[in-house]
Amino acid sequence: MSVDTTSGTAVVLGPMSDVQLGEGRAYAVGDRQIAVFRLSDGTLRATDAACPHKGGPLADGQSDLGVVVCPLHQYAFRFSDGGCTTAGIGAVHTYRISDEAGNIVVVIDPD
């Protein structure tokens, strides 16, 4: 799978083996903290690592094919657009991500 980098910078985070199926892991990328999720179907998703509500560690939350749930207060954030399923909580940034020759690659969009 290839990720479109025409409007951003691709960053190799590490090997796919760093994130087990059904798990999440936080990575520092420059001044950002990014949570990477390897879903049960093997696909990758990436969001900001901190919940906008109280800064909860999203990489430690439960995830399924559609959302990640913050472990502190159980707010769910959609992988499709970063929006919270509960009104008034805010949103997280989502990132383009892919498996490139066994490596996790995330695209950082210019600010």
* pLDDT confidence of residue 1: 46
Reference 55, options 70, 40, 36; nearest CA is 70
Domains in the chain: boundaries = 9-108
Q: Which pair of tokens denotes residue 75?
A: 């707010």
Name the nearest CA neighbour of 61 among 41, 39, 29.
Answer: 39
Which residues in the chain show pLDDT less than 50? 1
- Tell me the fold of 9-108: Rieske Iron-sulfur Protein (2.102.10)
Q: Which residue reads 């990436």 in tokens?
A: 46
Identify the pLDDT of residue 103.
97
